């Protein structure tokens, strides 16, 4: 299910409570952190969307989703902080994500884009210095690596990528990985090779729940033995049902049982109420980690 469809479904299925103003309980012991939202603006001279740079040039937006808009959703839903995952519309130009953090430093952290499809080549020797500059000067805390867009090319765990990961290890950078199921073993290779890099798997690696478990969830569960691997949940990408995506609950349960709440991060506003109120097997302490404490640590909200 596409994000916009899942968002509409969530408003209907959950009575509109999420976007209508569900509030964080006043005695919530830890901040609530949205682990990933894209952000962009339209018709901006300062932050133009350039199809020549975009990694998704045929799917450019017709509406904007600005930092200010995200802040309003945070206010309505009792969310304290948010991770901006740099959107494909800007390609390797991370300046809007930088702007979000510099303008609202107590609210946002940013994960940029650097290498991969329509970005810099993984073999580019300048990537190491680009990463260092992004972290030290451009307010990034991590990078999103998306080999899913190169399904037939192996580059994530090619030795040409080792210098970038070594620098990430030195800088304490987090890498969010947007991968396909057949690329999970590549992610495992790099996470084990560079244990100082915290690796976050996005969107359940887009597993197809209609296929055998051996082709999807079994491989994700196997990543739990690697201590620097985390899971960023988003049921809507892989579910075949409307919110609350009950067909994904058994897979979420397996992730929870194998990784534990201290290595799980929720994402996307429409899923907050599901994670906070609907999932039956999270304890109150689990929710503290999944809804905030894990992301606070990973993305350096200090």
Residue 82 pLDDT: 98
Note the pTM of the prediction, 2 decimals. 0.92
Average pLDDT over residues 214-234: 97
**Cβ contact 275:261 at 8 Å:** no
Q: Rounded to the nearest 10 degrees, what angle do helices 127-136 and 162-171 cross at?
A: 20
Asked if 240 and 208 count as a contact pair (C-beta separation under 8 A), the reply is no
What pLDDT score was predicted for residue 28?
59
Give pLDDT tens digits for 227-256: 999 999 999 999 999 999 999 999 999 999
C-alpha 239/C-alpha 144 separation (Å) is 23
Give tens-digit pLDDT for 39-70: 999 999 999 999 999 999 999 999 999 999 99
Percent of residues, the chain, with pLDDT higher than 70:
91
pLDDT greater than 50 at residue 113: yes
What is the rounded radius of gyration, in angstroms, for the C-alpha atoms of the chain? 18
* Bridge partners of residue 232, in order along the sequence: 202, 265
At 175-198, the pLDDT tens digits run 999 999 999 999 999 999 999 999
CATH architecture of the domain 3-298 equals Alpha-Beta Barrel (3.20)
Ranges of each domain in the chain = 3-298
Task: Return d(Cα 300, Cα 302) in angstroms, integer.
Answer: 6
Over the chain, what is the mean pLDDT? 92
Half-sphere exposure of 75 (CA within 13 A, CB side): 6
């Amino acid at each position: 299910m596409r994000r916009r469809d899942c968002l509409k479904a969530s408003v209907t299925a959950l009575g509109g409570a999420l976007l209508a103003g569900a509030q964080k309980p006043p005695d919530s012991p830890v901040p609530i952190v949205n682990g990933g939202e894209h952000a962009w603006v339209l018709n901006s001279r300062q932050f133009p969307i350039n199809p020549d740079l975009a990694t998704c040039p045929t799917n450019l937006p017709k509406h904007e989703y600005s930092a200010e808009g995200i802040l309003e959703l945070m206010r309505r839903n009792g969310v304290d902080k948010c991770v901006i995952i740099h959107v494909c519309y800007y390609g390797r130009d991370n300046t809007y994500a930088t702007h979000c953090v510099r303008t609202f430093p107590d609210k946002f952290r940013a994960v940029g884009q650097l290498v991969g499809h329509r970005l810099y080549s993984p073999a580019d020797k300048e990537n190491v210095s680009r990463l260092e500059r992004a972290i030290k000067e451009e307010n990034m805390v991590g990078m999103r690596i998306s080999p899913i867009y190169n399904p037939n090319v192996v580059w994530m765990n090619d030795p040409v990528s080792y210098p970038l990961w070594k620098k990430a290890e030195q800088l304490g950078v987090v890498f969010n990985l947007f991968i396909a199921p057949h690329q999970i073993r590549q992610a495992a290779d790099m996470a084990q090779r560079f244990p100082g890099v915290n690796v976050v798997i996005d969107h359940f690696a887009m597993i197809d729940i209609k296929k055998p478990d051996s082709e999807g969830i079994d491989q994700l569960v196997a990543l739990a033995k690697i201590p620097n691997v985390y899971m960023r949940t988003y049921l809507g990408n892989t579910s075949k049902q409307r919110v609350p995506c009950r067909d994904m609950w058994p897979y979420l349960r397996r992730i929870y049982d194998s990784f534990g709440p201290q290595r799980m991060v929720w994402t996307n506003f429409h899923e907050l109420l599901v994670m906070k109120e609907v999932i039956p097997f999270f304890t109150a302490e689990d929710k503290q980690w999944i809804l905030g404490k894990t992301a606070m640590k990973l993305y350096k909200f200090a």
